[in-house]
Amino acid sequence: MNDEVAVARPELEEAARRAESRRGFLIALPAWFYLTLFFVIPLGIVAVYSFATRSSTGRTILGDWNLNAYRRLWDSLVVEIAARTLVLALVTTLICLLLAYPLAYYMATRRPMVRNILLILVMIPFWSNFLVRTYAWKVLLGSDGPVSQLSQALGGEPIRLLFTNTAVLIGLVYGFLPFMVLPLYAALERMDWGLVEAARDLYAGGWTAFRKVTWPLSLPGVMAGSILVFIPTLGAYVTPAILGGAKTTLAGDYIVSQFLAARNQPFGSALSMGMMLIMLAATIVYFRWFRPSGRDL
Amino acid sequence: MSDAVTLQGVSKVFGDVYAVRDLDLAIGDGEFFSLLGPSGCGKTTTLRMIAGFEFPTQGSLRLHGVEMALQPPNQRPVNTVFQSYALFPHMTVEENVGFGLRMKKVAGAEIVERVRRALDMVQLTHRATASSKQLSGGQQQRVALARALVNEPEVLLLDEPLGALDLKLRQAMQTELKDLQERVGITFIYVTHDQEEALTMSDRIGVMNEGRLLQVGTPQDIYEQPTSRFVAGFIGEINLLPATIVDHESVRLAGGRLVAATTGAAAGSEVTVAVRPERLSLFGLGETVPARLNAVRGRIVRRVYFGDVFYYDVDTPDGVIEVKEENRPGVALHEIGEEAVVAWDPAATTVVES
């Protein structure tokens, strides 16, 4: 008489599953809408423009599709700018890593109370506008700035770092350092420090224990931080525009000049697409090599 | 032959709190020694000082006669099995087990051979190339054990190694650990808050509370002749009855009853009489109680059935006394409300401080 209870009702389960997936879709709808309107469509426009033609007056002719803009990516000037940008991004990432790792390590090994205070200190710069902070560097690095004054007080020459690659590097490291600190801190804070004790117990010295245990286990944080610094640095515009010189054009600057000064939208679009490919490659490398389980940050 | 581990006047202060206070202890070679106590009693701190993760605030710590108090952990001939196992998640089982040997720069071929034997010993050869994250709790525990023992340490330190396992597995591992210790002959120092673990496995037990080592002895000493109220109460079940010393052979219970017990302190001192429930017998009012036994009369107020035993609570003028009676033919069953006599052998009576 209870046979009915045991009968499976696949159609009910199926309906429940569909209702669940519909709910999920509805929740995500605003985000979908936003991303489509402000991200997918503009990206599509850029992609389309990169195959278009520039008229002699600087207008973009939609039609007569070609790869001319992409061919120009191999011009020696473009390659030089790309290489300079890439090197700057890599050096910025490396310096950020070297500065952030000891700080994150220090933070993660403090008492919880101290940790939270340090965490807030790391995030305080975000409270004021990035542009304002970059202009502050302009003052600091100028020929009247404290760096130069210190050098003169010590009997040296006036130093003008402003409008050099060094100034850009300083500005970028300053701006993106928190993005390196936070994922590193997250990785180290979550680490089981008992593992380091285990390594010490198994005859590893302090440095060896770091090399064999702490460092490999913090790699997801290292990679996440590196990606978070490397990608925005690659496309940085504000910092080089304010602190950099005319002779050291970087990719972001160059793309802007194609759209505004040179009025060559197809070439500017092709440059953007090329840079996005590099960033995409970096991201794929990160996901494939360092997040096999997809579990870490 | 010198002892494997000697602690003399060892104290450890954190801030202004004594985690361990004036600890004197010598642990013999090849001994299975347990440090037993409630959480926060200082047993883990003591173990961590022997391992080298904490340095004593004062005192001397010697391993086979060599002063080690301030040596870093990697320079001590001891290895630890951690409570959380602390297996390296980015290494395979055999890489975990071989870690210590690689650090000691043992030759490659020898490492392979010793890792193989160690895994064989804990019956995990078939999991050698598995990632340590893929193992079950019991398997992780064995890997942790193999990883420590493969180094042939002079002393193996175990910090509640069975705490994370379920009951069945824990009991199986108790037997296995004890067998293993007898086979390898290495000194084991075993930290636990589980009295049953300590009683069943140890050659000797040290009971700690509030940073102090209260009593050291064989499991039988500790259980049958506790020297303090804390040790008596912490291990097993026990009746603690307030009493006053009369002379060397007797004390007077709070209800006025005189009972025989061997006493140490001066006459008139307030003490506590400790008797285990299983050492007590219940007699009906009509039965004859042998004269040599201590006897207290009361009323049964509670009876709890445990399958193999019955627990009775007997309300007497000297306090409520718990009696444990076996459930087998020949042992009379008593009813709630019944008047009865609780009797026990004077030899089973321990007198501790009040």
Q: Are residues B264 and B209 in the same domain?
A: no
Count of Cβ atoms closer than 10 Å to residue A209 Cβ: 23
Helix (H, G, I), strand (E, B) or coil at A202: coil
Residues of B in contact with A217 (CB under 8 A): 89-90
The string over B271-296, giving b where at least 16 C-beta atoms fall within 10 Å of a residue's C-beta and e elsewhere, is bbbbbbbbbbbbbeeeeebeeebbeb
* DSSP calls for A65-121: --SHHHHGGGSHHHHHHHHHHHHHHHHHHHHHHHHHHHHHHHHHTS-HHHHHHHHHH
Q: What is the pLDDT of residue B247?
A: 87
Residues of B in contact with A205 (CB under 8 A): 72, 74
Written as one letter, the residue type at A166 is T
Q: What is the pLDDT of residue A3?
A: 53
From residue B111, how far is each of B80, B88, B106, B151, B213 by CA, in Å?
19, 18, 6, 10, 40
Q: The domain that contains B200 carries what CATH number? A: 3.40.50.300
Q: Are residues B210 and B258 in the same domain?
A: no
Domain end call among B200, B229, B258: B229
From residue A131, how far is each of A123, A174, A243, B58 by CA, in Å?
16, 12, 11, 57
Q: Are residues B111 and B224 in the same domain?
A: yes
- Residue A291 — pLDDT band, cuts 50, 70, 90? low
B313 vs B155: CA distance, rounded Å? 45
Q: What is the pLDDT of residue A290?
A: 66
Least confident among A123-127, A196-200, A269-273: A123-127
- Which tokens sit at B239? 């009746």
Cβ atoms of A106 and A189 closer than 8 Å: no
Q: What is the pLDDT of residue A296?
A: 42
- Whether residue B74 and residue A203 make contact (CB cut-off 8 A), yes or no, is yes
Highest mean pLDDT: which range of A54-58, A60-64, B211-215? B211-215
- Whether residue A202 and residue B82 make contact (CB cut-off 8 A), yes or no, is no
Examine residue B21 and state whether it is found in any structural domain, yes or no: yes
Residues of B in contact with A212 (CB under 8 A): 99
Tell me the residue ranges of DSSP E strands in chain B: 5-14, 17-27, 32-36, 58-63, 66-67, 78-81, 155-159, 187-192, 204-209, 212-217, 239-247, 250-253, 258-260, 270-275, 281-284, 294-305, 309-316, 319-326, 339-344, 350-353
User: Looking up tokens 């047993």, which residue turns up?
Assistant: B43
* DSSP calls for A109-170: TS-HHHHHHHHHHHHGGGGS-HHHHHHHHHHHHSTTSHHHHHHHHTT------TTSHHHHHH
* DSSP one-letter code for B184: H
Q: Are residues B259 and B218 in the same domain?
A: no
Supply the pTM of this predicted model.
0.82
What residues does B27 pair with on adjacent strands?
A: B5
Q: Are residues B185 and B79 in the same domain?
A: yes
Residues of B in contact with A192 (CB under 8 A): 84, 86
Q: Are residues B215 and B293 in the same domain?
A: no
Domain end call among B172, B197, B229: B229
- Whether residue A198 and residue B80 make contact (CB cut-off 8 A), yes or no, is yes
- For chain B, list residues whose CB is within 8 angstroms of any CB belonging to chain A: 51-53, 72-75, 78-80, 82, 84, 86-90, 99-100, 103-104, 147-148, 151
- Which tokens sit at A197? 């004790």
Cβ atoms of B231 and B208 closer than 8 Å: no
Average model confidence (pLDDT) across chain A = 89
Helix axes A76-108, A215-234, angle to 10 degrees: 140
Cβ atoms of A77 and A85 closer than 8 Å: no
SS3 per-residue string spanning B84-126: CCCCCCCCEHHHHHHHHHHHCCCCHHHHHHHHHHHHHHCCCHH
Domains identified in chain A and CATH numbers: 1-49 (no CATH), 70-290 (1.10.3720.10)
- Which tokens sit at A77? 């000037």
Count of Cβ atoms closer than 10 Å to residue A123 Cβ: 12
**Nearest-Cα residue of chain A relative to residue B79:** A201
Q: Are residues B23 and B130 in the same domain?
A: yes
A283 pLDDT above the threshold of 50: yes
A224 pLDDT above the threshold of 60: yes
B150 vs B184: CA distance, rounded Å? 11
Q: Report how many Cβ contacts below 8 Å link chain A to chain B.
A: 61
pLDDT single digits (tens) A78-106:
999 999 999 999 999 999 999 999 999 99
In angstroms, what separates the C-alpha of A294 from chain B's closest C-alpha?
15
Examine residue B234 and state whether it is found in any structural domain, yes or no: no
- Whether residue B53 and residue A197 make contact (CB cut-off 8 A), yes or no, is yes
Q: What is the pLDDT of residue B272?
A: 92
Examine residue B126 and state whether it is found in any structural domain, yes or no: yes
Question: First-to-last CA distance in chain A?
Answer: 54
- In this prediction, residues A59-80 reach a mean pLDDT of 90
Q: Are residues B17 and B145 in the same domain?
A: yes
Phi and psi at A261, nearest 5°, equal: -75, -55
Helix (H, G, I), strand (E, B) or coil at B328: coil
Q: The domain that contains B243 carries what CATH number? A: 2.40.50.140
Higher pLDDT, A79 or A245: A79
Q: Are residues B263 and B145 in the same domain?
A: no
- Which tokens sit at A248? 């050291």
Chain B contact probe: residue of A111, A202, A211 with most B CBs at under 10 A = A202
In angstroms, what separates the C-alpha of A211 from chain B's closest C-alpha?
12
Chain A contact probe: residue of B44, B90, B155 with most A CBs at under 10 A = B90
Q: Which residues touch B147 (CB under 8 Å, ≥6 apart)?
A: A202, B79, B87, B96, B97, B99, B100, B118
- Whether residue B74 and residue A192 make contact (CB cut-off 8 A), yes or no, is no
Count of Cβ atoms closer than 10 Å to residue B157 Cβ: 28
Q: What is the pLDDT of residue B24?
A: 97
Q: What is the pLDDT of residue B114?
A: 96
Domain of B111?
Answer: 5-229
- Whether residue A203 and residue B72 make contact (CB cut-off 8 A), yes or no, is no
Q: Quick one: which H or E segment has residue A61?
A: strand A60-61
Percent over 90 (pLDDT), chain A: 57
Residues of A in contact with B140 (CB under 8 A): none
Residues of A in contact with B72 (CB under 8 A): 200, 205-206
- For chain A, list residues whose CB is within 8 angstroms of any CB belonging to chain B: 192, 194-195, 197-206, 208, 212-213, 216-217
From residue A111, how far is each of A106, A118, B10 by CA, in Å?
10, 11, 27
Residues of B in contact with A216 (CB under 8 A): 90
B87 vs B147: CA distance, rounded Å? 9
- In this prediction, residues A247-260 reach a mean pLDDT of 88
Q: Are residues B218 and B245 in the same domain?
A: no
Cβ atoms of A232 and A176 closer than 8 Å: yes
Number of domains in chain B: 2
A1 pLDDT above the threshold of 60: no
Q: What is the pLDDT of residue B307?
A: 92
- Whether residue A203 and residue B103 make contact (CB cut-off 8 A), yes or no, is yes
Domain end call among B178, B195, B229: B229
Q: Please list the pLDDT of chain B residue by residue as tens digits (354 residues).
A: 579 999 999 999 999 999 999 999 999 999 999 999 999 999 999 999 999 999 999 999 999 999 999 999 999 999 999 999 999 999 999 999 999 999 999 999 999 999 999 999 888 999 999 998 899 988 999 999 999 999 999 999 999 998 878 888 888 888 888 998 998 899 999 999 999 899 999 999 999 999 999 999 999 999 999 999 999 999 989 999 999 999 888 899 988 888 888 877 788 889 999 999 999 999 998 888 998 999 999 999 999 999 999 999 999 999 899 999 999 988 888 999 999 999 999 988 899 987
- Whether residue B52 and residue A208 make contact (CB cut-off 8 A), yes or no, is no
Residues of B in contact with A203 (CB under 8 A): 74-75, 100, 103-104, 151
Cβ atoms of B194 and B161 closer than 8 Å: no
User: Looking up tokens 């009361």, which residue turns up?
Assistant: B298
Residues of B in contact with A218 (CB under 8 A): none
Nearest to A194 among B52, B86, B151 (CB): B86
Chain B contact probe: residue of A200, A203, A289 with most B CBs at under 10 A = A203
Q: Are residues B201 and B60 in the same domain?
A: yes
Examine residue B173 and state whether it is found in any structural domain, yes or no: yes
Within chain B, residue ranges assigned H as helices are 43-51, 93-103, 108-121, 137-149, 167-184, 195-201, 219-224, 229-234
In angstroms, what separates the C-alpha of A107 from chain B's closest C-alpha?
21
- Whether residue A195 and residue B86 make contact (CB cut-off 8 A), yes or no, is yes
Longest Cα–Cα distance of chain B, Å, equals 79
Helix axes B93-103, B108-121, angle to 10 degrees: 130
ipTM computed for the complex: 0.84
Residues of A in contact with B82 (CB under 8 A): 194, 197-198
Q: Are residues B225 and B255 in the same domain?
A: no
- In this prediction, residues A14-27 reach a mean pLDDT of 89
pLDDT single digits (tens) A183-192:
999 999 999 9
Chain B contact probe: residue of A191, A201, A293 with most B CBs at under 10 A = A201
B8 vs B22: CA distance, rounded Å? 8
Strand-strand pairing, B58-63 and B5-14: antiparallel
Q: What is the pLDDT of residue A294?
A: 42
- Whether residue A201 and residue B79 make contact (CB cut-off 8 A), yes or no, is yes
Examine residue B53 and state whether it is found in any structural domain, yes or no: yes
